[in-house]
Amino acid sequence: MTVLSDLQQYGITLDEAVWRVVSKRFSPMAAPPRSLQGESRFDDPLIGTDDGGSGYSVLYAATEPKAAFLEVLYQFRPAIQAVAGFAADMVLDVAERDRFLDPEGQVMPSWMRQTQLSSAQLMPDAPLFDLTDPGAIQMLRLFLAPSLIALGVADLDFGEVLGTNRQLTRAISRWLWSLSASSGIPLFSGIRYRSRLDPSCFCLALFEDRFRVIGEVSTETITTHSAGFAEAAEILRLRIPG
C-alpha cells in the first residue's frame, strides 16, 4: 500500500546557488506578494478566492543563469499570429520580407535597465519535491487520481506537467504544499521541475516562508554580457541591443 512517506524518497536538497531575473522594484530573493500571483505554473490555486487566506506565494528561480533568462525572456517573442503571417509570406524576397515583418522579437533596452540578474544560496526548511524524476510523476498519479479525473486529465506524465494546463500544475503545487509529517513539519519546501523552453534546464518553485537566504545576494543590472543572457536570447531567436 502506498503511503505519504513513500513520497519522501523524491525529496532532494538544494546544494547549488539559485538564479533569478527580476524587476528592481522587488527584493531579489523574496517571494512576491500574493496579490501579484495566481497566473504562473505552480501558484497557489486558491489565491484570490475566499479560501485563499491561509495560502502561500511562490518564489520562482533556476539553477543556472540561462534557465532564469529563458523563463523571462520568452515574453519578448512575437505573437504566434505574427509568426504565422511571416511564414505565409516566405516567398517574398529578403528585403521585402524584412520590411513586411521582423520574425524575431526585440529585447527592449529599457527593460534591461530596470531588471536585475540575482543569485544566492538558499536553504530550504524541507526537501524539494523532484518533479524531474519519472518515479515522482507516477507517485503523483497514484495520489492525485481523483483530482486528475475532476480536472479532465486523461493521465499524468511529463507532457502534462510541462504543458499549459495551469489548473493541473497549481493543483499539484497546492497538494504538495499541504503535506506535513505527523509532527506538523511540512514535507516539502518547493518543487524542482524542467523548463518547458529547454528541458535540459532545471527550475525551482519555492514555497513562501519555507526557505532562507544564506550569505549575501549578488545582483547586477542586466546587460548583453550578463551570464546566460545571450545564450537564452539565441534559443528564443530574440534580437538584443547591439
Residue of 152 and 241 predicted with greater confidence: 152
CA 77 – CA 179 distance, rounded (Å): 38
Q: What is the pLDDT of residues 35-64, one digit of tens each?
A: 888 789 999 999 876 665 678 999 999 999
Pick from 173, 236, 213: nearest CA to 31: 213
**pLDDT score at 183:** 84
| Domain carrying residue 164 | 4-239
Partners of 163 in the β-ladder: none
pTM of the complete model:
0.89
Element (H, E) at 134: helix 134-143
Number of independent structural domains in the chain: 1
- How many residues can be counted in the chain? 242
